[in-house]
Amino acid sequence: METVSTAKAFGGTQGVYRDASAATGTDMTFAVYVPDHAPGAKLPVVWYLSGLTCTHANVMDKGEYRRACAELGLIFVAPDTSPRGDGVPDDAEAAYDFGLGAGFYVDATQEPFAKNYRMWSYVTEELPALLAAEFPVDTARQSILGHSMGGHGALTIGLTYPDRYKAVSAFAPIVAPSEVPWGQKALPGYLGEDRAAWRKHDAVALIEDGARVADLLVDQGEADNFLAAQLQPERLEKACSDAGIKLTLRRQPGYDHSYFFISTFMADHLGWHAERLRK
Catalytic residues: 148, 224, 257
d(CA 180, CA 149): 12
Question: What 3 state SS string does the chain have?
Answer: CEEEEEEEECCEEEEEEEEECCCCCCEEEEEEEECCCCCCCCEEEEEEECCCCCCHHHHHHHCCCHHHHHHHCCEEEECCCCCCCCCCCCCCCCCCCCECCECCCCECCCCCCCCCCEHHHHHHHHHHHHHHHHCCEEEEEEEEEEECHHHHHHHHHHHHCCCCEEEEEEECCCCCHHHCHHHHHHHHHHHCCCHHHHHHHCHHHHHHCCCCCCEEEEEEECCCCCHHHHHCHHHHHHHHHHHCCEEEEEEECCCCCCHHHHHHHHHHHHHHHHHHHCC
Indicate the pairing of strand 75-78 with strand 165-171: unpaired
| Other beta carbons within 10 Å of 57 | 14
